[in-house]
Amino acid sequence: HREPLGAEQLERALCQAKDVDAQMEQLVGLLELSEGERRLRHLLVALFQEVFSEFFPGCSVLPFGSSVNSFDAHGCDLDLLLDLEPTKSLQSSVRGSPGAEESILSDIDLASASPPELLELVAAVLRRCVPGVRRVRAVPTARRPVVKFSHKQSGLAGDISVDNRLALHNTRFLRLCAEADERVRPLGYAVRLWAKQQGLAGNPAGGGPLLTNYALTLLVLFFLQTRSPPVLPAVARLRELAGNEDHVVVAGWDCSFPRDAALLEPSANSKSPSSLLAEFFHVFGDFDFSGRVLSLREGRALPLPEASELFKLGSLNLQDPFELSHNVAANVTEKTAARLGHCCRAAAKYCRSLQYRCKSAKGRGWGLVRLFQPGAVEPGAGAASFLITIPMPAPRCPEEPGEGFKEICAGIAFVLRDVLRCRCTPGKPPKQLGAPGVGQSLPEDPVGGKEPPGDTAGEEEEPLQPATASKRPQPDGMDGAALPCAKRPRVNGPEQEEEEEEEKEEEVVASWSCTIWHRVWTGRRRLRRQLLHGASPEEPEEGGDSLELEQKVSEAIVQHEGAAQPPEPLLRFEASARLAGGGQREPRVLLRLTPSPAPGPLFRDFFHFLQAFLPPALRRHLGWGPGADP
Ligand code: ATP
Ligand code: MG
């Protein structure tokens, strides 16, 4: 299993390319799965197939999604479909025949089993019979119910869904598009990484307010269909090109298109990938997402349907290419759609600059590198800051959120200082940010700091939200996730008012000035293993299993780097925690890190580490247990 590519490594490699087109090509090479990784996935699928066949004779285990859709990246999840249709037919044909009661087929009638029953059965097989599989849990409430799992030896996370044949065809459609024109993959990878860095995409299966990677990829394909001349044909045109053997209907939806990309006409559009990328941002920077339906079937934006009983209209209307009644962006909130437009405008502006087009002679970030820096290209952005959201477990709220907050602050200081060997000193003098009546007493800061940095006033959770965006509380599903973001520009006008609105939500604040002297975020996994001497049968969850062990790991890193104090810290940042939530939102603690000077790749690597490490470490330290994670 390969560690995900660090931001530093990626930037260094991209900076050396000769131009933006070369960067885009290189990006694909840096992110895509290696032959070995592909083989490993293949073996895992074969293992699942073997085990499930024992229980469900005739079934097939079929991969879909990023492992096979041509938009794979190191560490991407493994989406699997367990097709039980053949088993169901078999079951109905053998019922009552001698010997049938000995097989699992007699235990449960697959045809009449409810989806949750079926999922539990799949989960039970996974738990008991597939070697190396961990953390199995059924998620029956998702739009497409799945069983989640992770695989110990490969470090892969995956989903198994039972009834989702459409996914096989939309995966094959993405792959066909990637094969049809060699600009599709570079563009897809660049837009995916950009959107991830801006906090616009990444929810698995549409569970939150962000675009899923599938929806984002469809947006790229729609863009390519609507160029003049088009880079890709519309799905309706593909249907015409389909041969007899390509005709298929799934759940009533026509999924016919050629299997072979050689049947498609080559595009007459000769633009370079880098200019298409700039054009993508230009087009969607100024697009009426809520007033039209983006139709990949027709390859154009349609007026809103008159009666839209089935198609769920929203802030972004993107029609599935096959399941025509499905808006793949139905989960996207008004706020996210507005931010998508805003981030596209900022990116389009950056793409017009020399820094995008010309390689820096002084070794500074240029081209894609700056595009991928969170908040870096947003005009008027102040110091970039990075947010980690720590959900408060239900028993801690709502009676005494202030108490829970104190405890969390003590925990944050403990993890930073005692587990990660970071030096923390109290922040700047206190400033009560709450509106009269809602403010609460400041918590006792465990490291002596009771103070927010004075300049956090006016920050808000979502960066650069245009004034037109909704103020309604949104069930944003961001808990546990982190949004890299930038401070808002200080301007008067509607935006200012909104910042003040937001301030009233702030209740209690704690802050620290921190310095990091050692690369405590690298090589932890290996050291952990060495320290355990392979004695523990279960690999500990990062940061979550034993904090004593984590302390030893940090100590080993410090020793290894030479115990002598380096002359300068590697990183400096302000950390401030505040309690947020209330009303319809879950109480949660927002930890904001503001590095100075401006964040480089080293800081980003540290941040991504802390984002994964801190929440489970806190749970462990505060004794919340794994169930505390909502
Ligand atoms: P990732 O690397 O994030 O796993 P991915 O390429 O696998 O990316 P996902 O968004 O996980 O993309 O989508 C995998 C499959 O899940 C898609 O092929 C599609 O069938 C289904 N899917 C994902 N999002 C949606 C959605 N919004 N609506 C309908 N189906 C979706
Ligand atoms: Mg996936």
- 341 Cα: distance to centroid of ligand 2 (angstroms): 25
**Chain segment 440-463, per-residue pLDDT in tens:** 333 333 333 333 333 333 333 333
The dihedrals phi and psi of 44, each to the nearest 5 degrees, come to -65, -45
CB of 210 sitting under 6 A from ligand 1: no
397: CB partners within 8 A, 6+ apart? 404, 586, 587
CB 609 within 8 A of CB 8: no
The ranges of the chain annotated as CATH 3.30.460.10 are 35-164
Task: Establish whether residue 451 lines the binding site of ligand 1, counting it when its CB lies within 6 angstroms of any ligand atom.
Answer: no
Which 8-state DSSP code applies to residue 237?
H
Q: Would strands 318-319 and 292-295 be described as parallel, antiparallel, or unpaired?
A: parallel
39: part of which helix (H) or strand (E)? helix 35-55
Which listed CATH number (3.30.420.10, 3.40.50.300, 3.30.460.10, 3.40.50.1820) goes with 35-164? 3.30.460.10
Nearest atom, ligand 1, residue 323 CA: 29
- pLDDT for 585 equals 62
Q: Cite the beta strand spans of 339-495 per DSSP E.
A: 384-391, 423-426, 484-486
Q: Model confidence at 439, in pLDDT bands (50, 70, 90)?
A: very low
Span 237-287, pLDDT tens digits: 999 999 999 999 999 999 999 999 999 999 999 999 999 999 999 999 989
| Minimum CA distance residue for ligand 1 atom 14 | 65
**71 Cβ inside 6 Å of ligand 1:** yes
Residue bearing the CA closest to ligand 1, atom 18: 65
Enumerate the β-bridge partners of residue 387: 592
In the chain, ranges of CATH 1.10.1410.10 domains: 181-232+267-347
Cβ(322) – ligand 1 distance below 6 Å: no
The predicted-structure confidence for 285-295, as pLDDT tens digits, reads as follows 989 999 999 99
What pLDDT sits at residue 8?
A: 84
pLDDT(74) > 60: yes
Lowest mean pLDDT among 19-23, 277-281, 399-403: 399-403
Q: What would the 3-class secondary structure string for 130-169 be?
A: CCCEEEEEEECCCCCCEEEEEECCCCEEEEEECCCHHHHH
- Please choose, from the candidates 205, 42, 50, the residue with its C-alpha nearest in 3D space to the C-alpha of residue 125: 50
Six-digit token pair at 550?
Answer: 């984590």
pLDDT greater at residue 601 or residue 50: 50
Q: pLDDT value at position 206?
A: 57
Domain 181-232+267-347: which topology? Poly(a)-polymerase, middle domain (1.10.1410)
Q: Could you give the dihedral angle defined by the CA atoms of residues 499, 503, 509 and 514, in that order, rounded to the nearest 10 degrees?
A: 0
Which residues have CB less than 5 Å away from ligand 2 (the ion)? 65-66, 77, 79
Q: Which residues contact 424 (CB under 8 A, 6 or more apart)?
A: 413, 416, 417, 447, 449, 512, 513, 514, 575
The verdict on the CB of residue 332 being under 6 Å from ligand 1 is: no
* Ligand 1: centre distance to CA 205 (Å): 6
- Helix (H) / strand (E) containing 592: strand 585-595
What letter represents residue 184's amino acid?
Answer: V
Instruction: Tell me the CA end-to-end span of the chain in Å, nearest whole number.
Output: 28
Nearest ligand to the C-alpha atom of residue 64: 1
pLDDT in tens, 83-111: 999 998 888 887 766 655 555 555 678 88
pLDDT in tens, 132-176: 999 999 999 888 899 999 999 999 999 999 989 999 999 999 999
Say which ligand is closest to the CA of 81.
1
Q: What tokens were used for 341?
A: 């437009």
